[in-house]
Amino acid sequence: MMMVKLFMFLSFGGLSMCEVFLVGDEEGWNSGINFATWSQNHNFTKGDFLVFNYAKSVHNVYEVTEETFRSCETSNGVLGEYESGNDQIELKEARKYWFICNVAGHCLGGMRFGIDVNEANSRSHLPLSPVQSPPPPTNHASNHGSYALWSTFMCIIAFQTLFV
């Protein structure tokens, strides 16, 4: 069954503009992982999903402000709390996001990272190349909005099929 889900996800992936990121990759959301390096190795775009996998009784996920991220003090500045052990967070806006584990000592021990989320049309996994002349204008502008809607819909279906 997992192979069918993976096939469907990969099939829709070419049509979709979103990606699903497993935080910490195979190690998941656990102590001893350099999440700053992990986050720098990915490009995040509006509509993408972060999936935090961890032992429910051992860790949690808090979305916080930058100030709370830097201090690891959660008396204020908490934007969201997740404690399911399989938290799926959609990056709904192009902005900075900050995540920490709020278990005593974990945030200060390195279980935290921040990411910059870009607009959906700015995804790039390749190094920037020299600027070239733009192609001649086309009259496909009317199709762009429907493609974005279609690709978002397909991403949601692929995500639900793979992870639910």
Q: How do residues 124-157 score in pLDDT, each as one tens digit?
A: 543 333 333 334 444 444 444 444 444 555 555 5
Residue ranges per domain, the chain? Answer: 19-119
Query: What is the DSSP code (8-state) at residue 121?
Result: G
| Residues 61-104: tens digit of each pLDDT | 999 999 999 999 999 999 999 999 999 999 999 999 999 999 99
Third-level CATH fold of 19-119? Immunoglobulin-like (2.60.40)
| Residues 40-69: tens digit of each pLDDT | 999 999 999 999 999 999 999 999 999 999
CB distance 24 to 51 below 8 Å: no
Q: What percent of the chain has pLDDT over 70?
A: 63
The stretches of 17-136 forming alpha helices (DSSP H) are 35-40, 66-71
